Chain A
Amino acid sequence: MKSLIQKLVETPGPSGFEYAIRDVIREAIDGHADEVRVDALGSLIARKGTQTEDGMRVMVSAHIDEIGLMVTHIDENGFVRFTNIGGISPLTCYGGRVVFMDGTRGVIGIDGIERGKMPMLSDLFIDVGATSKADCPVKVGDVCGFERPFLDLGKRMVAKSMDDRVAAAVAVEALKRLEATPHEVHFVFSTQEEVGIRGATTAAFGVDPDVGFAVDVTRSGDTPRVNPKMATALGDGPAIKVRDSSFIADPRLVDWMVTTAEKADIPYQLEVLEAGGTDGRAIQMTRGGVPAGCVSIACRYIHSPSEMVDSDDVENAIKLLVVLLSAPIVLD
């Protein structure tokens, strides 16, 4: 499991540029799905199972994109200005290392601001080691992601893009472990979540599910002086989302998820996320409306190059997802 997560987090794939990570997913699920297709926005959709009388068409969505940077300008001296793809804080940029889709590497520098002042993205630049505009190997529109090796701390794991590759790993593993299901399950490895839940929007329309689950990371409320407060903690089990700022999970589905977790003796925690959204919104709002929920994995330092999750939470999230998908879904 850790090796799959490592492979996933170390593959670059900023929003809109998920082709490499998509290939990694495709290889990871090879032979385990009944059908695999890619939609117009690049989401990989793997179907498994045949719908029985008690079954539904179920969408499970984990996004494979990550936050990243795009080049806006190369100046006369070969310094590279950039803009954000998704929610990038200037706080986590300075001194960071980036890798472009073609393998070109660079570091993020800063100048022109007062010491101690919070920088803006426009104060930052990427230095790829060029000496002038002429020998700069990148051009306007090129895309890069942060580069940071996977760190195994035993029970805890750290990497950039745990958001949401850890959930992609959970979905991959659940797909592989899922044996008997009454459902036609569509595992969607969605694109462009970080820029506005776009891939899941078109995937949900295409899948046309009866019910859906997002799998994503959520904030963890167990760091010193956490603000705003949150009831989640690393190691307390997968989080069953009640709401976030993009959607309110179907309460019937939440109740059923809780009951199912308790029956299967899988630890869980309830999640109320005050700022943040997931693919659950896209599922809920597609076509005529769809009951939707979300299984989350608590994560510290989200959208930094060092996002931390708990190994037991990951394993229990897989177990929960498999259990949820193995029985008829009851909404009452």
Chain B
Amino acid sequence: MTKKLEISAGQVPEVGASQIALLEKLCNAVAVSGDEHEVRQIVLEEIKLIADEVRVDALGNVLATRFGRGENRVRVMLAAHMDEIGFMIVKKHDEGLFEFERVGGVDERQLPGKSVMVGREHRPGVIGAKPIHMTTADERKKKIEVSSLRIDLGPEIGDQVKPGDRAGFATRFEVLGPSLRAKALDDRLGVATLIELLKHAPDQIDLLAAFTVQEEVGLRGARVAAYALDPDMAVAVDATPAYDLPHWDEDDENDRFNTRLDAGPAVYVMDSATIPDRRLVNWLVETAAQEGIPCQLRQPGGGGTDAGAIHKTRAGIPSVSVSVPIRYAHTAASIARLDDWANSLRLLHSALSRVTPGLLAGERRD
């Protein structure tokens, strides 16, 4: 197979019109955990001329390898999850009304009135809610449980939908000046980043790209992907909440924002699933400082990425995570900054270009 894109190897990747177009395609696709088909097809098409080896494993992960050149190449796994949070149809009622359950971490207070796309055909529906005309003041104070909500597809469309079908939010991708607005930026930003890094893989490493499934339901795809790839080290590339909104009381400093927009890629020091190897944290932070790339530490706390599954695989894999900050994660529409994404890509590319066996020589240390 000829590799048409060989000339780009090692060059610094950028976020331009074609990258944004790819991200748009990825975000508008629906790939709720367990049915990642649509995004997987896009990924396979994008990387078929770039990767030296591509395979789809039993859980549906896309595992792509791009080999470097020379001796003592470190095998670096990059993981970005293809799946997104969403819904599953559980029961059909008359007139195209459907009971549904949540897939992954969805806040039920966010749901009434949202447009959704059901099934691989993207059948348009809406999560119905009693209109304000009919509700009492008391009702408006209470949240509506998922068990009381229905997806309304109408009679004819509804005939073609069945229990087990997935549904995702129907928000369309938009570029808003310096920002992006879309559903599923978590983690299509990571998927798009991995595709670019595969295209521009530095030569001194073997790049093992895992486009994983079922992250949102418990890091399941990454677990088997890491076992199969058996890398020397790993980086999970994801998106993380930026709750950087001003407090209404200006005397009260917002000390729990997780990350901030416009502050660059967020490097993890600890989440619920992983305490990253500090050698890798330092590798990223020092690369950012030396290259003049903005970068922030994600506030340690809850949450988890594919690194949580990867680092515990086999006899242990030094791992770290890097996320693009996004506002309103796990809702119908998130906001990200193009610059944060571009800087994440730059940081990862620069850092990968600096990987040597010496990075992991010796013992895990501060």
Select from chain B the residue with minimum beta-carbon distance to A43: B316
Chain B 279-298 against A: per-residue CB contact (8 Å), 1 yes, 0 no?
Answer: 00100000000000000010
* A16-B270, A140-B299 as given contacts; A75 in contact with B253, CB under 8 Å: yes
Chain B's interface size range is: 20 to 34
Select from chain B the residue with minimum beta-carbon distance to A23: B363
Q: How far is the CB of A102 from chain B (nearest CB, A)?
A: 9
Chain A 96-119 against B: per-residue CB contact (8 Å), 1 yes, 0 no?
Answer: 000001000000000000000000
Inter-chain contact A206/B300, CB cutoff 8 Å: no
Q: How far is the CB of B273 from chain A (nearest CB, A)?
A: 8
Interface hits, A199-232 → B, CB 8 Å: 201-203, 205-206
Interface hits, A71-89 → B, CB 8 Å: 71-73, 75-76, 81, 83, 85
Inter-chain contact A40/B301, CB cutoff 8 Å: no
- What CA separation (Å) do A85 and B297 show in the bound complex? 17
Interface hits, A213-269 → B, CB 8 Å: none
Select from chain B the residue with minimum beta-carbon distance to A282: B312
* A289 on interface, CB distance cutoff 8 Å: no
Chain A 46-85 against B: per-residue CB contact (8 Å), 1 yes, 0 no?
Answer: 0000000000000000000000001111011000010101
Contact of A206 among B269, B315, B365 (CB under 8 A): B315
Chain B 211-227 against A: per-residue CB contact (8 Å), 1 yes, 0 no?
Answer: 00000000000000000
Q: How far is the CB of A182 from chain B (nearest CB, A)?
A: 25
Chain A's interface size range is: 20 to 34
* B45 on interface, CB distance cutoff 8 Å: no
Chain B 330-365 against A: per-residue CB contact (8 Å), 1 yes, 0 no?
Answer: 000000000000000000000000000000000111
- What CA separation (Å) do A41 and B277 show in the bound complex? 8
Select from chain B the residue with minimum beta-carbon distance to A40: B316
Inter-chain contact A85/B364, CB cutoff 8 Å: no
* B106 on interface, CB distance cutoff 8 Å: no
* A152 on interface, CB distance cutoff 8 Å: no
Interface hits, B293-317 → A, CB 8 Å: 297, 299-301, 311-317
Contact of A70 among B277, B281, B300, B314 (CB under 8 A): B300
Please name all residues of chain A whose beta carbon is closer than 8 Å to the beta carbon of B313 when the two chains form the complex.
202
Please name all residues of chain B whose beta carbon is closer than 8 Å to the beta carbon of A15 when the two chains form the complex.
275
- What CA separation (Å) do A15 and B269 show in the bound complex? 12
Interface hits, B22-65 → A, CB 8 Å: none
Please name all residues of chain A whose beta carbon is closer than 8 Å to the beta carbon of B269 when the two chains form the complex.
70, 140-141
Chain A 155-181 against B: per-residue CB contact (8 Å), 1 yes, 0 no?
Answer: 000000000000000000000000000
- Looking at chain B's contact residues, the main secondary structure is loop
* A19-B364, A70-B270, A85-B275 as given contacts; A76 in contact with B253, CB under 8 Å: yes
* B130 on interface, CB distance cutoff 8 Å: no
Inter-chain contact A192/B318, CB cutoff 8 Å: no
Inter-chain contact B366/A40, CB cutoff 8 Å: no
Q: How far is the CB of A125 from chain B (nearest CB, A)?
A: 9
Select from chain A the residue with minimum beta-carbon distance to B281: A141
* A189 on interface, CB distance cutoff 8 Å: no
Select from chain B the residue with minimum beta-carbon distance to A142: B269
Please name all residues of chain A whose beta carbon is closer than 8 Å to the beta carbon of B277 when the two chains form the complex.
40
Inter-chain contact B256/A41, CB cutoff 8 Å: no
* A280 on interface, CB distance cutoff 8 Å: no
Please name all residues of chain B whose beta carbon is closer than 8 Å to the beta carbon of A187 when the two chains form the complex.
none
Inter-chain contact A72/B255, CB cutoff 8 Å: yes
Contact of A40 among B299, B315, B365 (CB under 8 A): B315
Inter-chain contact B275/A201, CB cutoff 8 Å: no
Inter-chain contact A141/B300, CB cutoff 8 Å: yes
Inter-chain contact A72/B299, CB cutoff 8 Å: yes
Contact of A202 among B253, B301, B315 (CB under 8 A): B315
* A141-B269, A141-B281 as given contacts; A19 in contact with B363, CB under 8 Å: yes
Contact of B364 among A42, A70, A203, A206 (CB under 8 A): A42
User: Interface residues, chain A, CB within 8 Å of chain B?
Assistant: 15-17, 19, 22, 38-42, 70-73, 75-76, 81, 83, 85, 101, 122, 140-141, 192, 195, 198, 201-203, 205-206
User: Interface residues, chain B, CB within 8 Å of chain A?
Assistant: 253, 255-256, 269-270, 275, 277-278, 281, 297, 299-301, 311-318, 363-366
Q: List 8 A-B contacts (CB under 8 A).
A: A19-B364, A40-B311, A72-B256, A72-B301, A85-B270, A140-B300, A141-B269, A202-B314
